[in-house]
Amino acid sequence: MSFLRVRHLSKRYRLSTTDFLALHPVSFVLPSTGLVAIKGKSGSGKSTLLNLLAGIDRPSTGKIYLQGEDITERKWPLLGHEASMIFQHYNLIEGESVLQNVALPLSMRAEGKKKAKELIEQFGLSSLMDRDVSTLSGGEKQRVAICRALVTDPLILFADEPTGALDEANSEKVMKELKAISSTRLVLLVSHNEELISTYADQVIHIVDGKMKKGPEVAPEPMAKYRTRRTRQGKKWVLPFLLRNLKKNKIKDTMCFLSGTMGFLALLLSFGFFAGNMPAMEKEQGKSLLFLSASISRRSEVEIPGSALTLVKKTRPSYEEAMDALPGLKEDNISSDYSYFLPSTLPFRFEGSEFEPTAMQPIYDITLTEYGSELLIQGEAPRDNDFHHCIVNQEFIDRYGENLLGGMVDIRSRSVVTYRNIQSEVFLDARWEIAGVVKEFGFLNVPRIYYSHSALEEKLGEIFVRGEQAQEISIQSLVREAEDDSPYGNYAQQIFFHDPSEVYRLFHLLDEGDLGDEVEVTSPSYALRQSFSSLSQAFTSSLTLFVGIALMGLCLILGMASYSSLVAGRKDNAILTVLGAKRGSIISIYVSEALALCLGSALAAFALSPLFQIGLNVLLKKEFDIERLINIPYSHYLGVPLFTILSLLLFAFLLGAISSYLPLKAFHHAPIVEELRDE
Ligand code: ADP
C-alpha cells in the first residue's frame, strides 16, 4: 500500500485562443514521511503539480489516491483536513497577532489556543506571540506560517517555495525545521534552489517544461497508519473577522448604516401612519357641532315605463320606519327636516353687507349644555334655544373676519307652499346675534352658522298660510301632515343624537351596511370619515410604494457593500479556505456584517422614530388638523406585545440576510489558486 499515489495527473490551462498543457501526465508514489522536493526551472510546472496535489486546483486528467482512497473528486480538499500548506509569501492574516494567526485553524475546529502557544514556544517565537504579523521579518513570518500549518498536526505539509523570499541564513533555518518536521509526516516542497534540495531532500521530482524528468523512488510501505480525516468546523472564528471587517470598512459601513437607518425610519413612520391615522381621525371627528346630526330618508326605486332606467325616489320616512331602521332611536331623536323653508346654504347679510351662500345648520342644542361646550373659543353659548342667537365656527371667522361676536346675521328665505289648493308665499326672516365661536375639527370644514332647530320649529309654528274656505294652518303642522312626496319635508327626517356613542353605533351600522335598502342615512361626520379614509388609503398605498422602493435600494446597497467587501477581502478568504474554512463560513462573515448593519440601523431607526414622529405630526397637524396622525404602536399591536420592534428586527434580519447572501452566492467564483498567487 502506498501513502500518496498519483496516476496520469495532468493540467491543461484553457487560454483564450489556445490550450496550454502546463503539466503532462505524471504518475508516481510518495511516502508517508520524508522531505520530497519538486524541482525545476521557473515556469516549468512545479506549483501546478503541488496545487493539484493539495487540491486547490483541479487536474485535467488523472487520479490521486491517499492510502488507496481516490480523493481526486472528494468534496473537501486535503487542505484543512489531512494537509496544510505554506507559501513563498507566507499568506498570514495581516493585522492579526502571531498567536491569532497560529490559533486560527484551531478556532475553526472549535478548539482552544493551547496547542498554538506550545508550538510558538517550541519554535522560539514566544517573544513575538502578541505582535502583529505584519511587523515581523520574512524569516519570522515563515516560521509563524509553519507553526500555523503544524497546529492541526497534518499528515502532509505542502510548501510552495518557502525560502523563495528569504536570505540564506533564514532559508537554512526554515529548511532545517521542515526537515525535522518531515521525520513524522510527508513534506512536499517546491523549490528551484538546487543546493538546498541536495542538502535536505530525501526524494526529488524533477520537472522540465511540464514533463516529469525524474520521479521519486519509494519503497513499499506497511499498511496505513492513518485514516482520512474530516474535521468539523466551529463558528466562533467568524466573529473576529466580522469585527475586523467592520473596522476595515468603516466608511462604507457607516454609509450603509445611515441608509439603513433612513429606510427603516421610513418603514416605521409609514407603519405609524397606517396604524395611527384612523384612530386619530376618530378622535378628532367628534370635535364638531355637526357630529350629533344626521338625516334619514326612505329610498324607493321607481321603474320608468318604457325605459330601462329606474329612478331612485327619496321620501320622508315615518317616525316608526326611522326607529325600525335605527334600533334604539327614541322619539326625541327624530324631528322634521325644515330645510325646504330654511335651506342648508343661504346668502346672508352681515352688518348691512350681502354675502354669498353659506352653510346654515340646525342643531338640537345651541346652548351647548349637552355637547360641544369645550369647542367654544370665543363668546358664550346662548342661554336658551331661541331664534335670536347663532353660533359660528372658526372657518366662518377666517372667511368673514375677526371680532364678529355680537354682530347681527340677517337671513331671508322665501318659499312657496300650497295648502288646500291655494298657493302662498312664505317668508322666513331671521336676525341672529353671533353669540359664540367654536373651533371644530378643520379637515374639509367650511364656514357654518349654527342655529337652534327647536327655535326654528317654534317660529314655523307661528307662520300660518291660508287655504280654501279661509282655513289656516301653521307651517310646522303643514310639514307634519305633508304627504310622502310633498317637498316640505325635504324628503327626510332629521336625527339628533344626544350622545356620541349613538353616533358610533350609527357608524357601525353604516360600515356593516346593516341599514337595508329601504332607508338612507346621511351623516356629515360619517361622510367626512369616509373621505378621510379614502384619502389615507391612497396615501398609505403611495407610502408603501415609496418605502418599498427605498427598501429595494437598501437591499442593493447592502448587496453591493457585501460583495465589494468580499472582493476586497479575497486574499484573506483564500487563506481561510486553505486553512480549512468552508465557503459557506466565509460568506457568513460578510452576511453577518450586513446583518449587523441591518439590525443596528433598525435599532437606530427605532430609537430615533419618536423624534421623527413628533416632528412629522406637527407638520401633519398643520395640514390635516389631526393630532398624532402617525402613532407607532410601541407596546402592542393587534394584541401582540412589542409587535413593532420584534417584527422590525425580524424584517431587518431577513432583509440583511437575503440581500447580502444572494449576490455573494451568485457572483463570486474566482479560483482560489488565482487569489493565492504570490505577488
Ligand atoms: P513554476 O511553479 O514551475 O514556476 P507554474 O506551475 O506556476 O510554474 O506554471 C507552469 C506554467 O503554467 C507556466 O508557464 C505558467 O505561465 C502556466 N500557468 C500557471 N497558471 C496558469 C493559469 N491559471 N492559466 C494559464 N497558464 C498558467
Higher pLDDT, 365 or 216: 365
Has residue 405 been placed in a domain?
Answer: yes
| Ligand 1 atom closest to 45 (CA) | 6
| Dist CA 672 CA 585 (whole Å) | 15
What residue ranges line ligand 1, CB within 6 angstroms? Answer: 13, 15, 20, 22, 40, 42-48
**pLDDT on residue 68:** 85
Nine cell digits for residue 29:
508514489
Domain shared by 449 and 567, yes or no: no
| Residue 131 backbone dihedrals phi, psi, to 5 degrees | -75, 145
In the three-class reduction of DSSP (H, G, I as helix; E, B as strand; rest coil), residue 186 is classed as strand
CATH number of domain containing 159: 3.40.50.300
| Ligand 1 atom closest to 207 (CA) | 3
Domain shared by 120 and 9, yes or no: yes
Asked if the model's pLDDT at residue 452 lies above 80, the reply is: yes
Best mutation site among 47, 158, 677 for ligand 1, i.e. most ligand atoms within 8 A of its Cβ? 47
Asked if the model's pLDDT at residue 1 lies above 70, the reply is: no
What residue spans of 312-434 are helical by DSSP H?
319-325, 394-400
Cα three-residue angle 431-433-437, rounded to 5 degrees: 135
End-to-end CA distance of the chain: 39
Has residue 626 been placed in a domain?
Answer: yes
Beta bridge partners of 30: 4
Name every residue whose Cβ is closer than 8 Å to that of residue 267 and which is 6 or more positions away in sequence: 547, 550, 551, 605, 648, 651
**Which residue has the CA at smallest separation from atom 16 of ligand 1?**
43
User: What is the number of domains present in the chain?
Assistant: 3
Has residue 583 been placed in a domain?
Answer: yes
Higher pLDDT, 629 or 518: 629
User: Where among 523, 544, 563 does a domain terminate?
Assistant: 523
Domain shared by 490 and 557, yes or no: no
**pLDDT on residue 17:** 85
Nine cell digits for residue 569:
477581502
Confidence of residue 678 (pLDDT cuts 50, 70, 90): low
Confidence of residue 489 (pLDDT cuts 50, 70, 90): low
Confidence of residue 352 (pLDDT cuts 50, 70, 90): confident
**pLDDT on residue 221:** 74
Confidence of residue 548 (pLDDT cuts 50, 70, 90): very high
Ligand 1 centroid to residue 564 C-alpha, Å: 28
Asked if the model's pLDDT at residue 231 lies above 80, the reply is: no
| Dist CA 608 CA 266 (whole Å) | 11
Ligand 1 centroid to residue 45 C-alpha, Å: 6
User: Where among 523, 546, 573 does a domain terminate?
Assistant: 523
* Domain with 202 in it: 4-233
Domain shared by 547 and 576, yes or no: yes
| Dist CA 650 CA 10 (whole Å) | 51
Return mean pLDDT, the chain: 90
Domain shared by 211 and 333, yes or no: no
| Dist CA 229 CA 645 (whole Å) | 46
| Dist CA 397 CA 434 (whole Å) | 11
| Ligand 1 atom closest to 22 (CA) | 12
| Ligand 1 atom closest to 160 (CA) | 2
| Ligand 1 atom closest to 210 (CA) | 10
Cα three-residue angle 81-85-87, rounded to 5 degrees: 160
Name every residue whose Cβ is closer than 8 Å to that of residue 102 and which is 6 or more positions away in sequence: 116, 119, 120, 144, 147, 148, 151
Domain shared by 191 and 219, yes or no: yes
Ligand 1 centroid to residue 118 C-alpha, Å: 38
User: Where among 523, 544, 565 does a domain terminate?
Assistant: 523
Confidence of residue 306 (pLDDT cuts 50, 70, 90): confident
Confidence of residue 563 (pLDDT cuts 50, 70, 90): very high
**Which residue has the CA at smallest separation from atom 25 of ligand 1?**
13
Number of residues assigned to the chain? 679
Asked if the model's pLDDT at residue 265 lies above 60, the reply is: yes
- What does the pLDDT average to over 636-659? 95
**pLDDT on residue 263:** 95
Question: 433: buried, middle or exposed (CB in 10 Å: 19+, 13-18, 0-12)?
Answer: middle
Confidence of residue 484 (pLDDT cuts 50, 70, 90): low
Query: In this predicted model, what pLDDT tens digit does every residue of 320-334 receive, in sequence order?
Result: 888 888 888 888 889
Rg (CA), the chain: 45
Instruction: Using a pLDDT cut of 70, give the percent of the chain over it.
Output: 97
Has residue 240 been placed in a domain?
Answer: no
- What does the pLDDT average to over 588-616? 96
Query: In this predicted model, what pLDDT tens digit does every residue of 409-451 receive, in sequence order?
Result: 999 999 999 888 899 999 999 999 999 999 999 888 999 999 9
Has residue 239 been placed in a domain?
Answer: no
**Which residue has the CA at smallest separation from atom 14 of ligand 1?**
43
Ligand 1 centroid to residue 21 C-alpha, Å: 10
| Dist CA 83 CA 675 (whole Å) | 19
What is the helix, strand, coil percentage profile of the chain, to 5?
45, 25, 30
Query: In this predicted model, what pLDDT tens digit does every residue of 135-160 receive, in sequence order?
Result: 999 999 999 999 999 999 999 999 99
In angstroms, how far is CA 527 from the centroid of its own chain? 34
- What does the pLDDT average to over 205-225? 82
| Ligand 1 atom closest to 49 (CA) | 6
Name the residue type at position 673. Answer: V
Best mutation site among 23, 26, 44 for ligand 1, i.e. most ligand atoms within 8 A of its Cβ? 44
Domain shared by 467 and 578, yes or no: no
**pLDDT on residue 490:** 64
Ligand 1 centroid to residue 212 C-alpha, Å: 15
Ligand 1 centroid to residue 13 C-alpha, Å: 9
Domain shared by 297 and 282, yes or no: no
CB count within 10 Å of CB 41 equals 11
Has residue 161 been placed in a domain?
Answer: yes
What residue spans of 286-425 are helical by DSSP H?
319-325, 394-400
Higher pLDDT, 647 or 298: 647
Best mutation site among 9, 11, 48, 58 for ligand 1, i.e. most ligand atoms within 8 A of its Cβ? 48
Asked if the model's pLDDT at residue 207 lies above 80, the reply is: yes
Confidence of residue 580 (pLDDT cuts 50, 70, 90): confident
Has residue 83 been placed in a domain?
Answer: yes
| Dist CA 66 CA 294 (whole Å) | 92
Has residue 97 been placed in a domain?
Answer: yes
Q: Which stretches of 453-583 are assigned E, i.e. beta strand?
A: 464-466, 472-474, 493-496, 519-522
| Dist CA 365 CA 496 (whole Å) | 9
Domain shared by 508 and 574, yes or no: no
Ligand 1 centroid to residue 56 C-alpha, Å: 14
Domain shared by 416 and 305, yes or no: yes
Beta bridge partners of 333: none
Domain shared by 211 and 260, yes or no: no
Asked if the model's pLDDT at residue 679 lies above 70, the reply is: no
Ligand 1 centroid to residue 622 C-alpha, Å: 73
**pLDDT on residue 79:** 85
What residue spans of 39-167 are helical by DSSP H?
46-54, 98-108, 114-122, 138-150
Ligand 1 centroid to residue 61 C-alpha, Å: 17
Ligand 1 centroid to residue 47 C-alpha, Å: 7
**pLDDT on residue 602:** 97
Domain shared by 318 and 437, yes or no: yes
Name every residue whose Cβ is closer than 8 Å to that of residue 386 and which is 6 or more positions away in sequence: 452, 455
Nine cell digits for residue 441:
375639527
Long-range contacts of 345-351 (CB under 8 A, 24+ apart): 346/411, 346/413, 347/411, 348/409, 348/410, 348/411, 348/449, 349/409, 349/410, 349/411, 350/400, 350/404, 350/407, 350/408, 350/409, 350/410, 351/407, 351/408
Best mutation site among 11, 12, 13 for ligand 1, i.e. most ligand atoms within 8 A of its Cβ? 13
| Dist CA 90 CA 21 (whole Å) | 28
Ligand 1 centroid to residue 46 C-alpha, Å: 8
In angstroms, how far is CA 120 from the centroid of its own chain? 48
Higher pLDDT, 6 or 68: 6
Name the residue type at position 642. Answer: L
